[in-house]
Every structure is written in C-alpha cells, then in structure tokens.
Amino acid sequence: MSAHRRTLKALPVALVLSLAAAACGGGGGGTAQPEKSGSSSPAAVKTGGSITYAADQEPTGFNPNTSKDNGTSVTNVIQGILPSVFVTQPDFSVQLDKDLMESAEVTSESPQTVVYKIKQNAKWSDGVPVSAKDFNLMWKAQNGTNDKFDVAGTTGYEDIASVTGSDSDKTVTVVFKTPYSDYKSLFSFMPPAHIAEANPAGVEAGWNTGFDKGMPVSAGPFKFGDFKPTDSLTLVRNDAYFGPKAPLDSVVFRFLPESTTQPDALRNSEVQMIYPQPQLDLVSQVEGIPGLKSETNFGLSFEHLTFNTTTPGLDDVAVRKAIALGTDREAILKRTVAQFSDEAKTLGNRVYVNNQPEYVDNGTQYAKADAAAATKLLEGAGYAKGANGIYAKAGKPLSFRLSTTSGNALRETQGELFKSQMQTLGIDIKIDNSPSKVLFGERLPKGNFDIANFAWVSSPFPTGNKSLYGTGGGSNYGKYSNTAVDKMFTDANAILDDAKKAEAFNKIDKVLWDDMVSLPLYQKPTFIAYSEKYANIGDNASLEGPFWNVGTWGLK
C-alpha cells in the first residue's frame, strides 16, 4: 500500500538459488563451510522437517505480475515456486539464477539484444520444459498493447521489440526497440505459459485470474500444497525440481494479521519465523524469547520528506533548504528507529541507500542541523520573523501542512518532531494526515499536499527514478522540474556499464540536493526472527524478502 509496495515491480523480485548452486548440490547432505555473509554457501542441514511463518497478509492470488497480486504477501509464497532469471542478493548485487539459466548476455547494444540460455533440464513439475514460451507470455502480457491483461506495470517490457525462441525454445533472444539498461529486472516470477494458455476462457483469463486459487505447477524447490483461506497455506517440496532439492518437507504460511500477536506466537512455538515491520516493543519482546535468532537489517526503502515545489513559499529553494537545515535528522532517528537498532544512520542520497556499494553521501552540508545557517538563508531570501515567531514575507507567513499515512505510529512521531523543530526555526507546520489509500491514491498524485513524509524504495535498478524527479514523471508528486536533470536522466538511463551508470546517477542526486527536491531521512530497518533450530535462514533486505533462499533452509 505504501510506496514500498508500489515499487515492487521495479525490482527483479525473484527466487533464485544461485547460492544453493554453489554448494555441493545433493539433497541436503552438503558439507560446505560457511563463508563471509553475502556470499556464504548454505550450511549443512538435515533433510525433512517443516517451518511455520507468520504471514501478516493472506495472498490474494498467485500471479505477482498482476496489479491485483503485486505485493509481498504473494511474492513471499511464490519465491519458491516461480522461476526468475535474476535475483538480488542480500548485498544488493544482482545475480543470475544458475539453476535455471546457463547464461543471459547482452550480445548487441544497438539495437539492444539480450540472449537468454535456459538450462536443458529446467522443467515445470508436470514435465513441460521452462522455455521461450514462458518468456514470450511475460512480454505479451506486460507490453501494454493488450488491455485485457491485468498487469502491475509495463516498464521495460514496453521497450521490447521481439522475443524469439530457438534451440527448441531453450534459447530466448530479446530485442529492444529502445535501450533499457535495467534489463536484469525483467523476467521475474514467470508464471507457466502452458497453464495460462490452456485456460478455457483464454490466455488473458489464465493470466489474470487463472492462478487465483493456487499455482498448479512449479519450477522451484517447493510446490503448492494446501491452501486453507483465512488460516494457512502450505508449500511442499517439489521432488521434480531440477536444482538442489529443498531440505525441508514443507513451509507453512500462517496468516496472523496482527503483528502484536507475533511475539506470543513465537513464544508458544505456534510459528517459527516472523518478518514484521520492526517496532521497539516487538523487537525487545522477541529478543527476550529464548531459543531464537533475530537480526535487524537495513533495506532498500527509505523515509523522506517530499516538498511540493508548487506550494507558495516552498517554491522558493531557499525555504526548502532552510527547512532541510533546520531539520535535526539525528534527533528524529534517536526517537524512532535508533531505539531498536544502534546502526541506524541518516541518509545522504536519494538514489542509493547507505549499504549499497554505489552509495555516496551527497548531502554532507545537511548532515548536522544548522539553525544559524537556516536563519541566514531565510533572512537572505527576504523573510522576517513576525510577532508570533513565524517567518513571513509580504504578509504571507511560512505555514505548511505535513501529510503522512495516518495510523503509522513511527511517522506520526516523525511528524511531531519535525513540527517542533520547525516551530523553533520559525516555520509553522500543521499536521494533516490521511489513510495510505487516500494519501497515495489521491492526495499525492493530485498534488494536494505541502510536505509529505513517506518511503521510497531504492533499487539496484535506478532508471525508475526518472518518474520520481523527471519533469512530468508519474511519481513526481512535488512537480519538480529541471530540464538539465531531465537530460541527465535520459543519458544515464541508456548507460549499460554499471560503474558509469552509478556515477551518472550520483551526479543527478547532487543536483537534486542543490535544488532540495526532497529530504531523505533514513534507511528503514527490517527485522527477522526465527527459531535457532533452523539453518540458512537470513534476511534479504532488498525486496526479495526472507524467502529468497527458501530452498536451502533446513533443520540443523
């Protein structure tokens, strides 16, 4: 519902077992030694056993490429079932799924051509090979030419000119009309084309609603077991899987919508693993339960303030900069996420987060709150403090609404702190929150806000930022417009070399700081806790989520 969920498709949310592939193979009898985190091989585990996970939401269906099912409740389940070409690792690098693919290579830059080679033994659990037909359906459904397909987005696929199969459909050649540098984000969670096409109501119905009740076949370590709506969903080992067999017999998703009940459920052993939004009490409660392992990570989503650059007052870059200088982000951290994670830091980049290798702190001059500098900026821009302590120019006081998602305790606290900091500076803030549905569905798109606090999701695929900061971009809620930045985006989005691309995007971010489009606050933590009887469970704080390597989980 938040921006977190909305940008899901921008990433290659994928299941991959490239780590498993690096192990000795075999069904759970591997003896590989653990290495450094990020590229560790799975630890040796026993075959058999089951794990129950507390899912906060029930999946609405099982094709995450549709607008209806595009959410983490669906992707968590489907990670172990549907094949994806690339997978984002816990260190945010993007790697090929070597169980599924031989290779995926760019063979030409003009026109951009990518050749995908699928493993010969890669097949669905009913024996049908994973083939160019599956790639073709992904493209056909999501290229935006057929309105009958329900899709979450068309990004990337709309740039493709053709998808051709050869070598008995085990080689797929994708030719692009317009270059798309984030091609690695494509072909994630491919549903079985042969099932969708066999739908009596047509392939569109097969794609849209054909997987609502379940996923009949699998090309991953697990397959669909039993779905008891409102209660639980069980995945069982896919014995026909072409990669290393999963050690666990089954994975149970138990639906527990109230995250406050999750610690109790852990303590009672009603579930063995939780992945809730971290919160002070929840974290301290879980840490007090014996026999558990838990870790806090920092994921790709980050909190920030977006300024509406068309609001009178905020259209003045000096005011925006003064607000940024007057905001004590350290103090906000101290009273929010830093209470349960001492590693929380302020964020100095809009494109990359602190623990991405491409990260550079581009906002050093805002690192510490500087009231004197803020005052100087305001007074230099012609504002004078009125009798009520609020700055005003030409009789117009600086008074803005701050809007965020109502009912979110963390953001409400942030709002309160921001309000009091601005009060000290001499800017009046009125709190004007809305439910996330209204905020994201109405107010932000319609520009009905002054300052908004919500989260954006950074990604290894930065091209999506154009719609956030480019002129007329669909998610450019602040109506920021700078033709130089537009040009920089167009250029950067065509760069296929990763290092050069990162450099170009960091340059863009510097300009965004100079124009103070938005103020990044901090990277959001993720929290995972599980019974210490299990091995190989670990968070993937990118949007892959904790189920990215479910095929390696097992009992010690």
Interacting residues with another protein between 38 and 67 (CB under 8 A): 50, 52, 60-61, 67
- Residue 189 C-beta: closest distance to another protein, Å: 15
Q: Binding pattern to another protein, positions 369-408, x when CB under 8 A?
A: -------------------------------------xx-
Q: Which is nearer to another protein, 375 or 403 (CB)?
A: 403
Q: Which is nearer to another protein, 364 or 424 (CB)?
A: 424
Cβ atoms of residues 227 and 219 within 8 Å: no
Cα–Cα distance for residue pair 538/195, rounded to 1 Å: 33
- The yes or no reply on residue 436 touching another protein (CB under 8 A) is yes
The footprint of another protein on residues 69-128 (CB under 8 A) is none
Cβ atoms of residues 410 and 456 within 8 Å: no
Distances (CA, A) of 3 to 51, 70, 336, 377, 457: 30, 12, 20, 32, 7
The footprint of another protein on residues 194-223 (CB under 8 A) is 209, 212
- Residue 386 C-beta: closest distance to another protein, Å: 21
* One of 122, 468, 508, 516 touching another protein (CB under 8 A): 468
- Residue type for 495, please? I
* One of 46, 368, 396, 437 touching another protein (CB under 8 A): 437
* One of 48, 441, 484, 556 touching another protein (CB under 8 A): 441
Cβ atoms of residues 174 and 160 within 8 Å: yes
- Residue 418 C-beta: closest distance to another protein, Å: 11
Single out the segment in contact with another protein by CB under 8 A; choices: 18-26, 162-170, 330-338, 357-365.
Answer: 330-338
- The yes or no reply on residue 490 touching another protein (CB under 8 A) is no
Q: What is the DSSP string of 44-100?
A: P-BS--EEEEEESS--S-S-TTSTTT-SHHHHHHHTTTS--SEEE-TTS-EEE-TTT
- Helices and strands (H, E) in the chain, number of each type: 17, 21
**Number of Cβ within a 10 Å radius of residue 394:** 6
- Residue type for 26, please? G
- The yes or no reply on residue 442 touching another protein (CB under 8 A) is yes
- The yes or no reply on residue 420 touching another protein (CB under 8 A) is yes
Cα–Cα distance for residue pair 510/536, rounded to 1 Å: 39
The footprint of another protein on residues 508-537 (CB under 8 A) is none
The footprint of another protein on residues 146-185 (CB under 8 A) is 147-155
* One of 434, 536, 549, 552 touching another protein (CB under 8 A): 434
Apex 431 CA angle, 429 and 436, nearest 5: 135
Q: Which is nearer to another protein, 131 or 453 (CB)?
A: 453
Cα–Cα distance for residue pair 40/30, rounded to 1 Å: 13
Single out the segment in contact with another protein by CB under 8 A; choices: 21-29, 102-110, 231-239, 309-317.
Answer: 231-239
Alpha helices in 356-482 (DSSP H): 371-380, 409-425, 436-438, 444-446, 466-469
Q: Which is nearer to another protein, 178 or 284 (CB)?
A: 284
**Is 470 in a helix, a strand, or coil?**
coil
Cβ atoms of residues 112 and 183 within 8 Å: yes
Q: Which is nearer to another protein, 10 or 17 (CB)?
A: 10
Q: Binding pattern to another protein, positions 264-293, x when CB under 8 A?
A: xx--xxx--------xxxx-xx--------
Tell which residue, 528, 549, 530, 526, has the closest CA to residue 51.
Answer: 530
The footprint of another protein on this chain (CB under 8 A) covers a number of residues equal to: 81
**Number of Cβ within a 10 Å radius of residue 317:** 16
- Residue 95 C-beta: closest distance to another protein, Å: 23
